[in-house]
Amino acid sequence: MNKVLKIGFGGGCHWCTEAVFLALNGVEQVEQGFIAVKDGSLDFSEAVIVHYDPTIITLKDLVAIHLDTHKSDKNHSMRNKYRSAIYYFGQEFTPVLKQFISDKQEEYNNELITAILPFGTFKSSEERFHNYYFSDIEKPFCKTHISPKIKMLKEKYAKHLSSKVK
């Protein structure tokens, strides 16, 4: 049995972020909710915790997908609620995550603003919002905000997609 690892991602709406990661092979579970950092200096922000099998999908691929599926290079007035971040569960991941972001930077015109932060606390969103996209992809929000992200995954990351989105 392979060891399942976990990493947190925040960027945009957690409904969108959840759908992106649920669409991937190797992702065992996605917890949708709100994350605050370990030192408590930042408020809770919409985010997900992704449980993944690193023998099927790598952390580097997860980070690349995360950066490509939200506005990781743009600040805006809602950044407190929608913090662009990667939340790690072990300090040893910090240099690796910094390198992944540095490597990916050349693909962007603007500087990536995605922060690498220590996971602190998680609060789950309401159960009725879990699996938001895949429970009804015809909802207006799904069509306008999430479906374009899934379409981009199909174009750029097809090899990582699960059968439910192919």
Q: Residue 93's Cα: distance from chain center in Å? A: 16
Q: Would you say residue 118 lies in a domain?
A: yes
Q: Would you say residue 165 lies in a domain?
A: no
Q: Would you say residue 166 lies in a domain?
A: no
Spatial contact of 114 and 86, defined as CB atoms under 8 Å apart: yes
Domain span at residue 68?
A: 5-160
Q: Would you say residue 133 lies in a domain?
A: yes
Q: Would you say residue 16 lies in a domain?
A: yes
Indicate the burial class of 11 (C-beta count within 10 angstroms; 0-12, 13-18, 19 or more).
Answer: buried
Q: Output the domain CATH number for residue 127.
A: 3.30.1060.10
Indicate the burial class of 39 (C-beta count within 10 angstroms; 0-12, 13-18, 19 or more).
Answer: exposed
Q: Is the pTM of this model over 0.85?
A: yes
Q: Would you say residue 98 lies in a domain?
A: yes
Q: Would you say residue 82 lies in a domain?
A: yes
Two tokens at 52? Answer: 């993944």
Q: Would you say residue 148 lies in a domain?
A: yes
Total domain count, the chain: 1
Of 107, 68, 115, which is closest to residue 88 (Cα–Cα)? 115
Per residue of the chain (166 residues), what is the pLDDT tens digit? Answer: 579 999 999 988 889 999 999 999 999 999 999 999 988 777 899 999 999 999 999 999 999 999 999 989 888 777 678 899 999 998 899 999 999 999 999 999 999 999 999 999 999 999 999 999 999 999 999 999 999 999 999 999 999 999 878 6
